Amino acid sequence: MDLLTFKKGIYPPHGKYLTEKKPIEEYLPKGNLVFPMSQHIGAPCNPIVKKGDRVLVGQKIGEATGFVSAPIFSSVSGTVKNIAPVLTAAGTKVNAVIVENDGEYEEIEFTKPKDYNELSKEEIINLIKDAGIVGMGGACFPTHVKLSPPPDKKIDSIIVNAAECEPYLTCDHRLMLEESDKIVEGLKIVLKVFPEAKGYIGIENNKPDAIEKMKEACKGISNIEVKVLKTKYPQGAEKQLIYAITKREVPSGKLPADAGCVVQNTATVREIYNAIVLGRPLTERVITVTGEAVKNPKNFRMKLGTNLKELIEACDGFKEDPVKVIAGGPMMGMTMSTLDVPSVKGSSGLLCLTKEQAVLPEASSCIRCGRCVTACPMNLIPSALDSLAKRHEYGAFEESHGLDCIECGCCTFSCPAKRHLIQSIRTAKRHVIAEKRKNSKK
């Protein structure tokens, strides 16, 4: 039987061997915890604590300020030392609540909700919203918004994105092996919100143990099915995943709901279980700390707000100094200037590369080979978009569907001239989007 997949794409070295056999380890932070008030797409939170306050595990410390926003909770007990701007992994400064960890991990009294089968659709969505859950694959879009499509959108497919196509990362893989029942239960909760939909769990075929484990967890559940996907990048991109499983195409400028689908990351679905069944907000996540520069790569369950430098120390440090450190994976992650930054809801990976893995030859002129076109899963012409971006021809860039770029990096990876195509396209996208926002406010 042919494996499910999408058109085009690439086959980068996966690097998952470093951590795919490493069970998740619990990590308790040693230093202060730092909670940026913007850990999601949308309006940042307002701090609702002040310097000197004592906070507990699970206590809300950041209040959402709009529908597209998500509250933030303390992952430790301790005293608020300060509220001040801090540097994040993205290189920006964000207002943050800084908590001195007392090491006690004293919790608030959590209210356990009743059986989710007795809850209405609206009650489930509100509990997810109140728990601060966002997309944990990296996009960090508030989950309650995804679960609230316009009434005219008929949703018939709920897809759990368990592809984990990004090289090196194995946090979702380990979750499937160690917490498969919680993932399936989380999906059942989402299906309660969309009772006419069917659930699909899409897993790449380079994770046979996870496929077996999830199929076992789904046994006897008529409206959930595990779909085996071809190992190819970017199989886990929303539009590519939807096409692979349903053979539907999301139109240009549209959202998955326009194709009748809602896509949720594996860790997100697991956190939905945590919020609804256990009544606990989002305060921790699994992260993969990996790369050839790390002495002992691991998968950690960490408290949100943990300093990333501590995680490297918990891996016994570096066996050689990394020349590049990336928040996330090598294809879509962000290069970091320092490890002295806090973890956030979207911290799926910390990748430390040696000179051998990270340094690329100097870029040369485009040789018009067309390999970027052959690789692009969105059927764009990256070389042309790159030229328009560099000439600041933003109108032509938009007309050439530059905003449809999903920033997967396939073009840069496949370019024999080693041109940094994705960087210029990403910059142009940011400019066009900023101009659109500015014009909409006039």
> Does the annotation list 369 as a binding residue?
yes
Annotated binding residue 315: no
Residues recorded for the chain: 442
Peptide bond into 234 cis (omega under 30): yes
Question: Which domains occur in the chain, in start order?
Answer: 29-110+281-357 (3.10.20.600), 112-277 (3.40.50.11540), 371-440 (no CATH)
Residues 202 and 292: beta-carbon distance below 8 Å: no
Report residues of the chain scoring pLDDT below 50.
none
The whole-number pLDDT of residue 184 equals 98
Residue 261 marked in a binding site: no
The per-residue pLDDT for 440 is 77
Count the helices and strands in the chain (H runs, E runs): 14, 17
The Cα–Cα gap between 363 and 355 comes to 17
218 is in an annotated binding site: no
Instruction: For the beta carbon of residue 356, count every other beta carbon within 10 angstroms.
Output: 10
376 annotated as belonging to a binding site for a ligand? yes
**Quick one: which of 168, 184, 177 has its CA closest to 209?**
177
CB-based contact 163:241 (threshold 8 Å): yes
d(CA 305, CA 31) in angstroms, rounded, equals 10
Q: What secondary structure letter does DSSP report for 360?
A: P
Check the annotation: does 411 bind a ligand.
yes
The confidence score (pLDDT) of residue 1 equals: 53
Looking at the whole model, is its pTM more than 0.75?
yes
pLDDT score, position 35: 98
User: In this structure, which amino acid lies at residue 217?
Assistant: A
pLDDT at site 91: 87
2 DSSP assignment: P
Stretch (H or E) spanning 353: strand 349-353
User: Cα–Cα distance between 205 and 202 in angstroms, integer?
Assistant: 10
Is there a binding annotation on residue 410? no
